[in-house]
Structure 1
């Protein structure tokens, strides 16, 4: 009898048993053995996570990049046969990787818009990963689709968008900003030229299209213009005022110049929370200008969108309800694990310009039958069930405490600014608007009156950051303001208090003085 005949004569049960013997201990399924193995694995992973990460006394171990790589290179990425039990593997990798990660829950991890995730969201992540729902089609997600739609309706209400509003979860601000300008471009082409960009590509006149944003808007505005075939040159930046907000007078001047040159300003991007200073552009005034000039109004609230959860702060977003589209990130002020964001529109019909269907995924008959396939309003196909972690967090924490956490981080930034202004060796660059505080160490040893001394001060600020990171005292950010190297604290962590930032400030000054002494000595 041939091998083929042997296989044909096997019963379905025999083939299943054979597969179960080979692979059954690798997947979570109905068998009790696999459930016990999963439970044991997760318990070990939790113990290692707490020991090597959550219980860390420092925000970073201080290990250099080359030492981290050397430790990982001791083991091949894919051994032919495993040489460790799962418990041994988790313990080794915990020591090699988790022990040397940025501890985002530590009060001194204050570099980026990189939040500590809520425990409720961590529980949701376990469900998201294990159930592995794909949010592109109904028959891959079922209840998940309905929960996302439920959360999306609440979000549209939170930001004051009309009942005709809608949205979709995204990977974050980069994707959401791209979608905003994609819909803006398609809408303008349809209205002005009766042109379907999705079907026909860019019209010849598209080289005259222009996007306006502040000079401190996120880099993804230019990135999006490039990806949309308009080029970075299509982005016209507007000057900002002393609080780093878009200036209305310069916007009106630029609009007049563009129109006088035969160019076509079609989109205005306002920022509600710039990366460095947390500045919020004058949304109400910009919305009116956008309407008067027939422009799509997009608000990038990736950072500042969480203000809507605070009774005392939400008025600062007044005007966002006039936006045609909105970006909001939940892996910033909503304390969700990366990645988790949303893209919202005031008119759900604008999603029609990117709508596509495929017989194997979302056939048109589904729409006729009222089956919701979320892929029709996304530029992603396979997509995680991220709505679950936001929903579970909102249910567990509640709106009042969410608002209190937002209020705490805003007050913390203000208190930290007061501490910086009281320190003679530090210079505050601007009063904080949200949770970011930008400042600069001022050397004792040199007068900053020439290019060489300014360059030395820039180098010193960079080295202070590196010294504190290597010593494990703090994870600080760096940025440039008016061409000069500065330090930055990003205070998103509700567990951080002014007592912690006072210690960081003291360590910054100590490191600066020590580096100056070392420089003078050699």
Structure 2
């Protein structure tokens, strides 16, 4: 009696047969993407949240783990089609809401390679070349910021929020160790006998507040430093606050904004660096969005002094045209990453594997197993080149300036401010006694529900202590033309006028 060997339970992607299967499945997915793209009428399908929920309910009616699996091609098509239909088309000129640039084709292809090979960075045997590539990309980005490559370090992260959390962790541990000779990551904060505080301006990203909360420092121990009329932190005020701190409080971080997501504010980095050094405080620069200026000879002077920060957050999935996640945390001195267990790489204090060069990156990140984001960054940057990336950044800046000029010329629109980078704030000014804040909120929801455009909204603080609702255009697609941008604004003005007339007749 003979028995036949059981068939494989699944098709591993990296085998010869698996690679052929991947090719067929990718062709299926690409065909669907082409069909959906050809049928689009706007940057998102009309229908708003209700329409998206209805599409999801239909596509997800079957359980996640059915008793018996289905044909891979049919399963893929069944979910890719509604996913694509209800995805934001970030190549559309009216997709202006968020920091999601259209990624390069070569970066998208690299993502597929990364998924098939499934390397990791925590141990040498999990990704030998991936580790070398990751370290090289970090070194190259450190040089872009202006750090000394021999001393600098860092890690790729999932985004600016994680980068800021890691920066605040290093700031807390490094500053306390240098000032008190004690280690917060060992003893905890309660035993130190002092209360750590963090200084930052009013416009700092919310992720800094969240990081301070998670680290046990507490929101109440964030000290807001006054800003000038342009919204920039005043170094003399930071110095005054640090000088006047009582003995039972210890400043561990001074957080500077290096390109805010609304107004493009860049704090005076050289002056703040001098204040931080004088008081022995860690200076962190959040350049998640603003770091795009580094690619442009025209805009790079905005970030003078960035290399004087102890750590820098930057996101290449904003101004780098690579798929998320493509973010980095860079540090001026690599040894300050000891908060995450960084071990010396000399034979004096390492095991025999480390001495032989079998070194992973598990001690430089919050994550252990993690994807290799360096591949898509490297292929995208090399394929584009410095001149092209600079031209892409400048084109987006030119689009922002065009939009600002057009808005300023429209009597029913109010421009927030001239855009230093690529975010343009504005609002419609309704008549008939209508509340402008409420009207602009409804206008934004209406254009998105109808699939006409995707806009962001924000609240901008006013000198009287209040705030106003502003709409935001985020220009990160260099393929957008000024004519297309004018059509978006024309359509918005027409819809706003219709809404205003309807409200007046009601």
For residues 55 and 135 of structure 1, the distance between their equivalents in structure 2, rounded to whole angstroms, comes to 41
For residues 38 and 305 of structure 2, the distance between their equivalents in structure 1, rounded to whole angstroms, comes to 40
* Match of residue 331, structure 1, among 288, 302, 317: 317
Q: Which residue is equivalent to 1:272?
A: 258
**Aligned residue runs from structure 1 range 140-179, under 5 A:** 140-162=126-148, 163-179=150-166
1:473 aligns with 2:452: yes
For residues 228 and 134 of structure 1, the distance between their equivalents in structure 2, rounded to whole angstroms, comes to 27
1:462 aligns with 2:447: no
Do 1:283 and 1:319's aligned partners in 2 also have CA atoms closer than 8 Å?
yes
Aligned residues: 493
For residues 35 and 380 of structure 1, the distance between their equivalents in structure 2, rounded to whole angstroms, comes to 29
1:497 aligns with 2:481: yes
**Aligned residue runs from structure 1 range 398-413, under 5 A:** 398-413=385-400
Do 1:52 and 1:94's aligned partners in 2 also have CA atoms closer than 8 Å?
no
Greater shift after overlay, 461-470 or 73-82?
Answer: 73-82
Q: Which residue is equivalent to 1:431?
A: 418
Using a 3 Å threshold, how does the CA distance of structure 1 residues 29 and 508 change in structure 2: closer, same or farther? closer
SS of structure 1 residue aligned to 2:426: strand
Do 1:198 and 1:354's aligned partners in 2 also have CA atoms closer than 8 Å?
no
Q: C-alpha displacement at 1:442, in angstroms?
A: 0.5
SS of structure 1 residue aligned to 2:363: helix
Q: Which residue is equivalent to 1:360?
A: none
Q: C-alpha displacement at 1:58, in angstroms?
A: 1.2
SS of structure 1 residue aligned to 2:171: helix
Q: C-alpha displacement at 1:387, in angstroms?
A: 0.3
* Match of residue 280, structure 2, among 294, 302, 306: 294
1:517 aligns with 2:501: yes
Do 2:194 and 2:248's aligned partners in 1 also have CA atoms closer than 8 Å?
no
SS of structure 1 residue aligned to 2:459: strand
* Match of residue 396, structure 1, among 347, 360, 383: 383
Q: C-alpha displacement at 1:395, in angstroms?
A: 1.3
SS of structure 2 residue aligned to 1:444: coil
- TM-score with structure 2 setting the length: 0.92
Bigger Cα Rg: 1
SS of structure 1 residue aligned to 2:362: helix
Q: Which residue is equivalent to 1:112?
A: 98
For residues 304 and 38 of structure 2, the distance between their equivalents in structure 1, rounded to whole angstroms, comes to 38
Q: C-alpha displacement at 1:53, in angstroms?
A: 4.0
Runs of at least 4 residues off by over 6 Å = none
1:201 aligns with 2:180: no
Q: C-alpha displacement at 1:412, in angstroms?
A: 1.3
- TM-score with structure 1 setting the length: 0.89
Q: C-alpha displacement at 1:277, in angstroms?
A: 1.1
User: Which segments of 5 or more consecutive residues in structure 2 lack a partner in the other structure?
Assistant: 344-349, 462-466
Greater shift after overlay, 247-256 or 268-277?
Answer: 247-256
Q: C-alpha displacement at 1:382, in angstroms?
A: 0.9
Greater shift after overlay, 336-345 or 192-201?
Answer: 192-201
User: Which segments of 5 or more consecutive residues in structure 1 lack a partner in the other structure?
Assistant: 1-5, 358-362, 447-452
Q: C-alpha displacement at 1:255, in angstroms?
A: 2.7
